[in-house]
Amino acid sequence: MAYAKLNATDYLFPSRKHTVPNLGTRAYDRLVHKWVSSIGLDSSLYGTHSMRRTKVSILYKRDKKMRAIQLLLGHNKIESTVRYLGIDVQDALASAENLEL
């Protein structure tokens, strides 16, 4: 198997255009819909945002590390992260109380 020799500054999805270094959001969205359709799923039910939300939801359920999720999402307020995940505020508070510093 061949491995790409990427640096930390390289884009995983480079653009084919020479004027911009990375794939644009619209092109990425089209790729996601194409990939979803290719495995027989309804592409109207999946998108780049649902993938983003699914990833952090899985991380939260596994680790309960609200601050890490907040940082990954780029939220300034923990309340925004709680709303985004659609979790109960009491669950989030319990998670925060169990945080080891």
Whole-angstrom Cα distance, residue 31 to residue 1? Answer: 23
* Residues 60, 95 within the same domain: yes
* Residues 67, 98 within the same domain: yes
69-101 pLDDT tens trace: 999 899 999 889 888 888 877 776 666 666 554
* Residues 42, 60 within the same domain: no
Under 8 Å between Cβ of 58 and 85: no
Q: Return mean pLDDT, the chain.
A: 83
* Residues 57, 33 within the same domain: no
Whole-angstrom Cα distance, residue 73 to residue 95? Answer: 18
pTM for the full model? 0.56
2 inside domain: no
Under 8 Å between Cβ of 29 and 22: no
The whole domain housing 74 covers: 53-101
Torsion angle in degrees (nearest 10) through CA of 62, 71, 89, 45: -70
